[in-house]
Structure 1
Amino acid sequence: MQLKSKKEQVSLLGEEVCILQPLVKKGITSYINYLNKKQAFIKLKLEMKESENQIVLKNHESHLVKNEIRVLDKKLRLSLSRQLSKYQQELNLMSMPSKKFFSNK
């Protein structure tokens, strides 16, 4: 939302600078006013570019975190699956002698 607002401001300031330039050449408006507007335009463009860079950086960081979560999730699932398999084998081994014991009687 801030980026959209800055883009609109840059657009408006750009138009104003374009309008003021010929007026300065004709002596209708002051050169200092033109320079102030142009300076504000350049500053706002730099701020907008910085905002865009921050968005890209945050998206990249978010992507990295998502990948780390996926890796950790896979490791956890694999570990749980191994534990479950191990416990299932132990349970099967424990239940085998009791079956033999009860079937012999």
Structure 2
Amino acid sequence: MNSYMGGGRMNWNSNQRIADSVDHTASQITLACDMITNAGINYEGIQQELLMLANQPNPPEPSQLIGLANRIQTTKHQVDNSVQKIKEFARNIDSKTDEIQNRSSW
């Protein structure tokens, strides 16, 4: 029986399963970060549209402003949801690594 990492093949398989789970969670974090990056791009688009409206000779129509306000709100929800997901994924990684730490001499 291999005593490395606290006790043999069964422990290694469990650690490998946890490592795979943590790796999957890290991929999910990357996706959530990509969503935040896309939200930043959306905000830049809104900024450009506002600058364009500001440079027109006539004031913007209420419907244009309402449309921009709705896009800002939607983008904010996207950022908020992504941040919550990242926090959830971080808790998941923490609990998975706690499993390893509790079974080994770390």
Match of 1:13 among 35, 46, 51: 46
Instruction: Give the residue type in structure 2 aligned to 1:67.
Output: D
Q: Which runs of 5+ in 1 are unaligned?
A: 75-105
Q: What is the rounded CA distance, in whole Å, between the counterparts of 1:42 and 1:18 in structure 2?
A: 19
Identity of aligned residues (%): 10
Aligned residue number for residue 93 of structure 1 = none
Match of 1:54 among 85, 90, 102: 85
Match of 2:61 among 26, 30, 33: 30
Q: Which runs of 5+ in 2 are unaligned?
A: 1-33
Aligned residue number for residue 4 of structure 1 = 37
Q: How far apart are residue 66 of structure 1 and its match?
A: 0.5
List, as ranges, runs of 4+ consecutive aligned residues in structure 1 with deviation greater than 6 Å: none
The number of residues matched between the two structures is 72
Question: Any idea what SS the aligned residue of 1:64 has?
Answer: helix
Q: What is the rounded CA distance, in whole Å, between the counterparts of 1:8 and 1:68 in structure 2?
A: 39
CA RMSD of aligned residues (A): 2.4
Which structure has the bigger radius of gyration?
A: 1
Question: Any idea what SS the aligned residue of 1:29 has?
Answer: coil
Match of 2:76 among 8, 24, 45: 45
Higher helix share: 1
